[in-house]
């Protein structure tokens, strides 16, 4: 693809761009392949003796009283640090309430965590919080916007970090491996005792919890971003020296963050893990896959080999043990990066190693990361970018605003040449499936008096020009050397600068689906207070809501907010995605919007285009912009769409349903599906049913 493109775009401009591109466990066992017989994750813990439980409850109550007293002060300085105390209360309370002590040794851990929480609370009441200046191992927390729960993270603060000094500091984010017993108690304890695999000099190590054991996907992905944001509030982090790193399940997370947020990191260092779903499950899990058509499309969300182009933007150093079956992840990525992309993966292999590091490899990795950190994050003058979803739509100074179709590849190549004496030339090669994009160059990028020539090359799937090739637009930067413009394809598939904002309903960044996307931001479950028109639907929706509440806590370690339909306020409509349970007769909020959705649901039938289904034993599931607030989602009768079978292997934890589905309730829900899926598909780019 690159060589084809080089022959099309002005070769003088491409020469510089080409140069820039060149610079920069074991299987879970066959028993986990039986959907009808799924072990519980996490498993139920050991019984806590009555006297120990009573003692913990007493200490827990005392800590809760101190937290309440701090809240009552309304002192903004103190309440801003309260989450650093609340992490201990929540960790022990959840372990007690949900039987999540997995070993009797964890009782002592819980007692120690409660004591630490009480100590911090006392310091906060006295106005002397010592942990905020602590070096070494520190645990802290933040309140997540997703569900208003406190979430923990760990830090390693280097001895050289100066609390009262203004020099920004490097930060490496480390993603932990799979741990089905990694409760909040065990996570906090480990982060208070264990510095981790790597502790580079002069570097703050951030260890996100990732909401347990989901490979840092979905809410786990947002946890990383929210934890980093919280760290940046409390410590001086160098924005140009943040990296992502991890091993095993954490290596999988690293591939995801490197390819989806490639412009945010100075480097990525994935170790082992998995980098996509289908090949990994066949090789590692020996699973026979029979995906539905929409599942295959949805694999494109987290299959990093499909996003390998983006690593032209993020220097990457992979590690694998020579004898580790999870070396497969880097092998897949190496192949994807080498297929016409002119990227050779730096792949360090531990000689004779299984699923672990060796000392020599660790030394090489450390040295290489240190060298990259000296350069810092770079803003590239030439790079590739590809996406399959507008959730991940940005690379440096290019943002994709609209696609022809989601879950198909949307690729561009951008280069900026400032060497000409009287003009700068910005060249963008657009492959099919991108209909709207924005260029935004920061202040100081261009000479204020020079002209900017924007060359847009529309290319077909084969790399050949369409519509005559280049479209040249002569534009001008602003007086501070910045430039911003949006380019939109017109009805004749020609490009033009656009100065207006489209007001029509369409898929856009963070409002593009699928159903699981609603649970990556603030959401509320809305419980019906009426009686469903059909008894089967009412019972099914009630059972699915009960399950959703339980599994949000069990798998994503949060407390789903639940309100009755009659208590939904305008403020809630504006601030959260609404997940409506029941039917239009039982749920008053659903009744308000039922006639404004593409799928019609009445007492008698569910109408999907020209097809209809008996409403007595069918129910729709869907996601759509909320007609009461088009900047938020509304979801009908669904939480996140993967179920218990997917808990057994992180590579399975991908969306199982697209934008909408019709469920036959005559088939009971199981460990994979909420019932029999008789129809399912994506809405088109205007949020309407496809023809």
Helix 83-97 vs helix 105-125: crossing angle, to nearest 10:
150
* Alpha helices (runs of H) in 235-358, residue ranges in sequence order: 249-260, 278-284, 293-298, 328-338
Ramachandran region of residue 557, left (φ > 0), alpha (ψ -120 to 50) or beta?
A: left
| CB 654 within 8 Å of CB 643 | no
CA–CA separation, 502 and 488 (whole Å): 10
* DSSP code per residue over 507-518: -BTTB---GGGG
Structure tokens, 536: 């089967």
The sign of the CA dihedral 462, 463, 464, 465 is: positive
Beta bridge partners of 164: none
Q: How confident is the model over 569-599, as pLDDT tens digits?
A: 999 999 999 999 999 999 999 999 999 999 9
CB neighbours of 3 closer than 8 A, spacing ≥ 6? 340
Dihedral sign for Cα atoms in the order 50, 54, 60, 61: positive
- Rounded Cα distance, 652 and 648, in Å: 8
What kind and span of H or E run contains 573? helix 570-575
Residue 527's SS3 state is: strand
What's the Cα-to-Cα distance from 216 to each of 31, 173, 390, 500, rounded to whole Å? 25, 12, 19, 37
Predicted local confidence at residue 485, as pLDDT: 95
Report whether the peptide linkage leading into residue 42 is cis, meaning its omega lies within 30 degrees of zero.
yes
Kindly write down the DSSP assignment for every residue of 105-120, as one continuous string: HHHHHHHHHHHHHHHH
Smallest CA-to-CA distance from 259 within 177, 341, 203, 364 is with 341
Degrees (nearest 5) of the Cα angle 264, 453, 496? 85
CA torsion 679-682-688-691 (nearest 10°) is: -60
- Residue 542: exposure state from Cβ atoms within 10 A (0-12, 13-18, ≥19): middle
CA triplet 1, 6, 433: central angle to 5 degrees?
50
Strands 495-498 and 483-489: antiparallel
Cα-based distances in Å from 376 to 383, 436, 491: 17, 31, 42
Instruction: Calculate the CA dihedral of residues 430, 433, 438, 444 and round it to 10 degrees.
Output: -40
Single out the residue of 328, 299, 304, 324 nearest to residue 316, CA to CA: 304
**Two tokens, residue 355:** 């699923």
Sign of the CA dihedral 581, 587, 590, 594? Answer: positive
Strand partners for 268: 244, 316
Which pLDDT tens digit goes with each residue over 230-269? Answer: 999 999 999 999 999 999 999 999 999 999 999 999 999 9
Cβ contact 150:83 at 8 Å: yes
The three state secondary structure string of 140-151 is EEEECCCCCCEE
Per-residue pLDDT tens digits for 276-308: 999 999 999 999 999 999 999 999 999 999 999
Residue with tokens 């079978």: 645
Contact 43, 102 (CB under 8 A): yes
pLDDT at 556 (0 to 100): 98
Give all domains of the chain, ordered by start, each with its CATH number.
2-21+381-498 (no CATH), 134-375 (3.40.50.1820), 515-681 (3.30.379)
Closest C-alpha among 310, 346, 305 to residue 329:
305
Q: Give dist(CA 605, CA 125) in Å, integer.
A: 60
Closest among 530, 544, 547 to 583, alpha carbons compared: 530
**What residues contact residue 175 under an 8 Å CB cut-off, 6+ apart?**
208, 210, 216, 224, 244, 245, 246, 247, 249, 250, 251, 253, 254, 257
Which residues are within 8 A (CB) of 33 and not within 5 positions of it... i.e. 6 or more apart? 285, 286, 287, 288
Please return the burial class of 369, using the count of CB atoms within 10 Å of its CB with bins 0-12, 13-18 and 19+.
Answer: buried
528 vs 581: CA distance, rounded Å: 6
Cβ atoms of 627 and 594 within 8 Å: the answer is no
Instruction: Label the pairing between strands 317-321 and 346-350.
Output: parallel
Judging by beta carbons within 10 Å of its beta carbon (0-12, 13-18, 19+), is residue 667 exposed, middle or buried? middle
Q: What is the largest CA-CA distance in the chain?
A: 82
Q: Residue for token digits 């992979």?
A: 318
What stretches in the chain show pLDDT beneath 70? Answer: 1-27, 340, 467-469
3-state SS assignment for residue 614: strand
Please identify which residue in the block is written with the tokens 């790399």: 463
Q: Which residues contact 502 (CB under 8 A, 6 or more apart)?
A: none
Question: Residue 364, class by beta-carbon neighbours within 10 Å (0-12 exposed, 13-18 middle, 19+ buried)?
Answer: middle
Q: For position 340, what pLDDT does the model report?
A: 67
């Amino acid at each position: 693809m690159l060589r084809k493109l080089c022959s099309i775009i002005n070769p003088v401009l491409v020469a510089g761009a080409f140069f820039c591109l060149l610079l920069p466990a074991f299987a879970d066992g066959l028993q986990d392949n039986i959907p009808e017989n799924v072990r519980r994750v996490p498993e139920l813990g050991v019984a806590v003796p009555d006297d120990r439980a009573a003692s913990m409850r007493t200490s827990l109550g005392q800590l809760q009283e101190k937290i309440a007293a701090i809240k009552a002060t309304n002192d903004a300085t103190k309440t801003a640090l309260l989450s650093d105390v609340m992490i201990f209360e929540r960790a022990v309370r959840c372990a007690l309430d949900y039987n999540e002590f997995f070993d009797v040794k964890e009782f002592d851990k819980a007692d120690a965590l409660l004591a630490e929480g009480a100590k911090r609370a006392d310091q906060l009441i006295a106005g002397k919080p010592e942990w905020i200046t602590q070096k070494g191992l520190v645990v802290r927390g933040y309140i997540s916007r997703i569900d208003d729960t406190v979430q923990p993270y760990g830090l390693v603060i280097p001895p050289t970090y100066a609390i009262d000094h203004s020099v920004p500091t490097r930060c490496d984010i480390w993603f932990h491996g799979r741990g089905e017993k990694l409760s909040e108690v065990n996570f906090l304890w480990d982060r208070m005792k264990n510095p981790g695999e790597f502790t580079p000099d002069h570097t703050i190590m951030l260890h996100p919890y990732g909401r347990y054991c989901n490979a840092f996907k979905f809410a786990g992905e947002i946890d990383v971003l929210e934890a980093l944001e919280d760290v940046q509030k409390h410590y001086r982090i160098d924005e140009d020296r943040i990296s992502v790193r991890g091993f095993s399940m954490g290596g999988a997370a690293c591939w995801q963050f490197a390819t989806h947020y490639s412009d945010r990191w100075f480097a990525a260092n994935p170790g082992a893990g998995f980098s996509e779903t289908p090949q990994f499950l066949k090789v590692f899990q020996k699973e026979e896959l029979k995906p539905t058509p929409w599942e295959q499309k949805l694999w494109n969300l987290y299959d990093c080999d499909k996003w390998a182009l983006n690593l032209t933007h993020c220097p990457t150093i992979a590690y694998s043990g020579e004898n580790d079956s999870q070396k497969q992840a880097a092998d897949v990525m190496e192949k994807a990066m080498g297929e016409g992309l002119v990227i050779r993966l730096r792949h360090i292999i531990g000689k004779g190693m299984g699923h672990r590091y060796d000392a020599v490899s660790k030394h090489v990795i450390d040295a290489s990361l240190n060298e990259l950190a000296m350069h810092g994050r770079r803003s590239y003058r030439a790079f590739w970018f590809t996406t399959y979803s507008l959730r991940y739509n940005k690379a440096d100074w290019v943002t994709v605003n609209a696609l022809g179709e989601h879950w198909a590849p949307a690729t561009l190549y951008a280069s900026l040449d400032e060497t000409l004496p009287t003009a700068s030339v910005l060249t963008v090669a657009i492959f099919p499936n991108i209909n709207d994009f924005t260029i935004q160059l920061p202040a100081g990028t261009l000479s204020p008096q020079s002209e900017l020539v924007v060359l847009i090359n529309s290319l077909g799937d084969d790399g050949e020009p369409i519509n005559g090739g280049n479209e040249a637009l002569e534009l001008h930067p602003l007086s501070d050397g910045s430039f911003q413009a949006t380019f939109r394809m017109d009805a004749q598939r020609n490009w033009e600068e656009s100065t207006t904002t489209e007001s029509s309903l369409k898929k856009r960044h963070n409002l593009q689906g699928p159903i699981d996307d609603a649970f990556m931001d603030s959401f509320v479950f809305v419980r019906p207070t009426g009686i469903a028109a059909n008894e089967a639907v009412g019972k099914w929706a009630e059972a699915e809501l009960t399950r959703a509440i339980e599994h949000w806590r069990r798998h994503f370690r949060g407390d789903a907010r639940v309100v009755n339909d009659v208590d939904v306020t305008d403020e809630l409509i504006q601030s959260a995605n609404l997940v409506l349970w029941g039917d239009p007769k039982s749920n008053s909020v659903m009744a308000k919007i039922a006639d404004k959705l593409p799928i019609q649901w009445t007492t008698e039938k569910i109408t999907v285009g020209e097809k209809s289904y008996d409403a007595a034993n069918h129910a729709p599931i869907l996601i759509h912009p909320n007609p009461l607030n088009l900047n938020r989602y509304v979801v009908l009768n669904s939480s996140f769409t993967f179920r218990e079978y997917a808990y057994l292997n992180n590579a399975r934890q991908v969306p199982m349903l697209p934008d909408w589905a019709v469920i036959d309730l005559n088939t009971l829900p199981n460990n994979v599906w909420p019932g029999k899926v008789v129809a399912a598909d994506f809405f088109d780019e205007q949020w309407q049913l496809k023809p």
